[in-house]
Structure 1
């Protein structure tokens, strides 16, 4: 089973003379344990692609299937709890790590677990295990203001992994980091994809950051080019 399947995905914003087509006929599949870069310049449609897979942007046409569950077929399928599906099956990592400033590193991770009904003791244990695996156990009681950019991004990754999602979506996760820290984060994502059998899709405009990726999906003017089908 593929972790992500997208068939003929099209997104049009607006209507009539003001209609703007952001994405046209996108089709691809991502396997569990695969690290895929979505590469393209600003305005090419790559973020629209990611947010459609992330159940944030409703497709105009086409089908989206996450971990075997079809969520969109020419629009969202009726009766689905998209928020719950996002919580249980998807993890998100952003350019701005979006850590809650008044929570410690550990609390920023455990909040994702408690929202899903995990008890405080179990959430703390799981949070510490994640921070330790990312080399941040010694910083667990530090607030975001006292963490470096690279450390903050690793906390954000730990938070994304907290509920053991089948799919992790990262939008320019290294844009705010220097080259060395950026490459370290990308190497970490590769390790996590293999170790956790999670499909990870990373949006980036920086060709330097995709070394070691399993595949690159290039987006140009709303159209996918080069190796997008996952075969």
Structure 2
């Protein structure tokens, strides 16, 4: 089973003469354990595609299947609880870490678990385990303003992993980092894809950051123009 299936997905904004096609008939699949990039310049439609897969931006046409559940078929499938599916099956990593400034690193990860009704003690144990596995055991009690850019992004990754999602969606996760930290984060995502058997889909404009990816889809003007195999 694929973790992500995208079949002829199109997103059109507006109607008639003012209509703009942001995504045009995009089709691809991502397997569990794969690290896949959507690569393209600003305005190419890659983030629109990611947010459609993330159940945030409703596609106009086409089908999207996430972890075996058809969530879109020429629009959202009626009757589905998209918030629940998003909460249970998806993890999100953004360009900005979006950590809550008045919570510690540990508390920022615990929040994601407590929203899903984990008991406080269990949430704390799981959050500690995740942060330690990302070499942040010494930062459990640190607030976001005391963290480096790379550390803050690793806390955000821990938060995305908290509920053991089958699919992780990352939107320019290294854009705010220097080259070394950016490559470290991408290498971390690769190892997490394999270890957790999760499908990780990363949007980026930076060709330097896709070394070691399993596959790369290049996007231009809303269309996938090329698929290449990475060195992963």
TM range (shorter): over 0.9
Q: How many residues align?
A: 229
Alignment of 1:39-54 (within 5 A): 39-54=39-54
Q: Does 1:76 align with 2:69?
A: no
Alignment of 1:70-149 (within 5 A): 70-149=70-149
Find the aligned partners of 2:119 and 2:228 in 1 and give their Cα distance. Answer: 41
Provide TM-score, normalisation by structure 2. 0.97
Deviation sequence 1:134-176 (CA, Å, 0-9, x none)? 0001100000000000000000000000000000000000000
**Which secondary structure state, in structure 1, belongs to the residue aligned with residue 72 of structure 2?**
strand
Find the aligned partners of 1:119 and 1:48 in 2 and give their Cα distance. Answer: 35
Q: 1:180: Cα distance to partner?
A: 0.2
**Which secondary structure state, in structure 1, belongs to the residue aligned with residue 227 of structure 2?**
coil
**Which secondary structure state, in structure 2, belongs to the residue aligned with residue 217 of structure 1?**
strand
Distance 1:169 1:128, change over 3 A: same
Q: Which residue of 1 aligns with 2:179?
A: 179
**Structure 2 alignment gaps of length 5 or more:** none
**Which secondary structure state, in structure 2, belongs to the residue aligned with residue 96 of structure 1?**
coil
Q: Which residue of 1 aligns with 2:25?
A: 25
Alignment of 1:188-207 (within 5 A): 188-207=188-207
Provide TM-score, normalisation by structure 1. 0.98
Quick check: 1:29–1:228 contact (8 Å CA) kept in 2?
no
Runs of 4+ residues deviating >3 angstroms: none
Find the aligned partners of 2:44 and 2:35 in 1 and give their Cα distance. Answer: 21
Quick check: 1:2–1:32 contact (8 Å CA) kept in 2?
yes
Q: 1:17: Cα distance to partner?
A: 1.5
Find the aligned partners of 2:194 and 2:118 in 1 and give their Cα distance. Answer: 25
Q: 1:228: Cα distance to partner?
A: 7.6
Q: 1:227: Cα distance to partner?
A: 2.0
Find the aligned partners of 1:48 and 1:154 in 2 and give their Cα distance. Answer: 24
Quick check: 1:169–1:200 contact (8 Å CA) kept in 2?
yes
Q: Which residue of 2 aligns with 1:62?
A: 62
Find the aligned partners of 1:142 and 1:83 in 2 and give their Cα distance. Answer: 30
Let me know the Cα RMSD of the aligned residues: 1.0
Deviation sequence 1:184-205 (CA, Å, 0-9, x none)? 0000000000000000000000
Q: Which residue of 2 aligns with 1:11?
A: 11
Q: 1:14: Cα distance to partner?
A: 1.1
Q: Which residue of 2 aligns with 1:208?
A: 208
